Structure 1
Amino acid sequence: MDIQDKVAIITGASGGIGLATTRLFAEAGAKVALAARSTDTLTTIVNELHEQHREAIAVPTDMRNKDAIEALVDSVFQQYGRIDILINNAGQTVLGNVADVDIDQFRQIFELNVLGPVEAMQAIIPKMRQNGGGLIINVSSMVTKMHLPAISAYAATKAALMKPATRKGWPAS
């Protein structure tokens, strides 16, 4: 897929897979919008990309907050007039067996790993349709296929994230 001049929002862009994806997309010529909670880290990454003559903006965003997600989408759309790609990558884990995990921590992880990506899709899909389409990639995890005792909450949220993308007709219908 040619992503030259495509506008891509990458959540969780301050480290790990999100940062690697950001660098790869920028190198391929995409205009990247970096979303994460860590403002200073995002600013450093954007400055690094600008030094390489790459187009990038930082939009500090808490993916557990619907208003922040909508502000992210609106900000990128105002900047570029379109959004071609969404990489839903932001995520976090909570360690502990299901019998012992703090239910409030589980709720926070569920909001970040499942509801945040769904809210991002709901905010972006109308804009993508308006511009003739787009691509959404939800980053899940292989732990959904494994039996590892201390990460059941994380595995459950990543499994839940996979379901919308596997439904027939998603997201067009």
Structure 2
Amino acid sequence: MPLTARTRIDLGVAATVIAIGAVFAFEAWRIDPASYEAVGPRAVPLFLAVAMIVLGASIGLGAWWRVGHGTPPEPGFGFADSDLRRVAAVIGAGAVYTFAFWAMGYMMATILGMAMALWVFGVRSPVMLVVLPLIAGIAYQVIFMGYMGLLDPRGALLNLRWLSNPVTPR
């Protein structure tokens, strides 16, 4: 049975997710595992990377199974009907977040990233676009840098730790 456009899209998504998961796994493995805790600093990133690889493989296997059994996909199932502009916007927001993390540090990048994600998913209220990212950025800063004791990286272009230090418990 020939591959339909929908099956090719599903296989492309599967390959992309597996490739990104493999890169994440490689990068997570490079994190120094030295820790006195039961779960070291690379456990969560490695778990997420493996989860991406497994889920990508399940998407691909599902697409191949449908081809081999001649089973048409259910309506609305798969990625053929995806809003590609929104997908591209989410990927773009992730790229901007990554750049902002490098340039300005964690908290400011998280605030910017949250605002972009809200915008991409249709939130247009100026109050929500300001308040929710601020709450998320501060909450994540407190949890990860304060309570978990992770390194609060300074930005390569702007050192904005003077904004994050007051909300980071020691």
TM-score (norm 2): 0.24
Choose between structure 1 and 2: higher strand proportion: 1
Choose between structure 1 and 2: higher helix proportion: 2
Rg: which structure is higher?
2
TM-score (norm 1): 0.24
